[in-house]
Amino acid sequence: MIISVASGKGGTGKTTIASSLAAVLGPRAQILDCDVEEPNCHILLKPTIESREKITLPVPVVNMEACNLCGKCGEVCRFSAIILIGDQVLTFPELCHGCGGCTLLCPQKAIHEGARELGVLETGFAGPVEFVHGILRVGEAMSPPLIRAVKSKIKSSKIAILDAPPGASCPVINTVSGSDFIIMVTEPTPFGLHDLTIAEEAVSLLGIPVGVVLNRSDIGDTEVQAFCRTKNIPVLAEIPHDRRIAEGYARGDLLVNSAPEYKTLLLEMIDAIQDLVNHPRGTVRTATV
């Protein structure tokens, strides 16, 4: 089973929920941090990293001896990453999407592919939990290929927990596509609601069932609950604001360590999600401690 933890708005508690879910599931779980721009699961789970590989994107390299300056490569490229100027072919590897079009379509076969480093992929263990994360190279704009590399490590024998980036655009879609269930973590504020609405709209294109975890559930208003009722989205759990949890998080402690009473709640939430995946029309009782 693959469960993505997403949110729309940043800082609502995705990593808090994802990391503690993995921790309570122990050897049954695998955690994959797909927020490659700002991965944080390792701060809470403190894994031992066992392997590390560079992830690259193929970018064009032109052999000017074979080039006859026809300019086809520049006509083909829709990202302005290669262009014929005078008697030179200039490449802008940082704009390249790695589609391979120029290499494939060069009539002189004068282009081969080099590599641009996108970031690194690390795997290891946090206690009994299998740990995977990607770290985007600072200055690199393109995260989806690295996210796909992280996801290539998903093991079907485990409950894979995917920590998604915030927002609602391509990095989020790349993370959550293929999931069996999406947990949307939000907070009861106008920002939380607005960004939840957008994220829900984005993932609804994929037809994956969604449930909401309402974090700091007592700090704002009741609009998120109203939205969930209208949209028929189950509220899986409500976690009231608790200074203990916030201070624990600041130090890098897991939710289930700073507030152990949430262990049972999270395990029950996994059961509820499993039920919802198997019986999509089932009802869910909102868990709270």
Partner 1 sequence: MKEVVIISGKGGTGKTTLSGSFACLAKSKIMADCDVDAADLHILTDPKILHQEDFYGGGKAWIDKEKCSECGICRDSCRFGAISEQLEVNRLSCEGCGVCFHVCPEGAVNLEAGICGQWFISETRFGPLVHARLLPGEENSGKLVALVRNQAKVLARKQNKDTILVDGAPGVGCPVISSVTGADYVVIVTEPTLSGRHDMDRALQLVRGFRIPAFIVINKADIHSDLADTIEREAEERGVTVLGRIPYDPAVIRAMVQRRCVVEDRNGVANESIRRIWERLESLL
> Which residues of the chain form contacts with partner 1 (CB under 8 A)?
8-12, 15, 35, 37-38, 40, 43, 76, 78-79, 97-101, 104-105, 136, 138-143, 165-173, 177, 189-191, 194-195, 198-199, 201-203, 205-206, 219-221, 246-247, 249-252
90: tokens are 């200039």
CB of 73 to partner 1, least distance (A): 11
CB of 251 to partner 1, least distance (A): 7
Nearer to partner 1 by C-beta: 124 or 274?
124
Nearer to partner 1 by C-beta: 197 or 274?
197
| Strand 235-239 versus strand 111-126 pairing type | unpaired
Among candidate residues 110, 120, 111, 113, the one with its CA nearest the CA of residue 143:
120
How many Å separate Cα 43 from the centre of its chain?
16
Q: Please give the torsion angle defined by the CA atoms of residues 88, 94, 96 and 102, in that order, rounded to the nearest 10 degrees.
A: 20
Nearer to partner 1 by C-beta: 78 or 281?
78
CB of 201 to partner 1, least distance (A): 4
Nearer to partner 1 by C-beta: 83 or 284?
83
Maximum distance among all alpha carbons in the chain?
A: 71
Look at residue 30 and give its three-state secondary structure.
strand
Length of the chain: 289
Nearer to partner 1 by C-beta: 106 or 270?
106
Report the amino acid identity of residue 153.
Answer: K
CB of 175 to partner 1, least distance (A): 12
CB of 216 to partner 1, least distance (A): 9
Tokens 């109203």: give the residue: 226
Contact criterion met (CB below 8 Å) for 192 and 162 = no
CB of 218 to partner 1, least distance (A): 10
Nearer to partner 1 by C-beta: 69 or 246?
246
Among candidate residues 69, 102, 113, the one with its CA nearest the CA of residue 88:
69
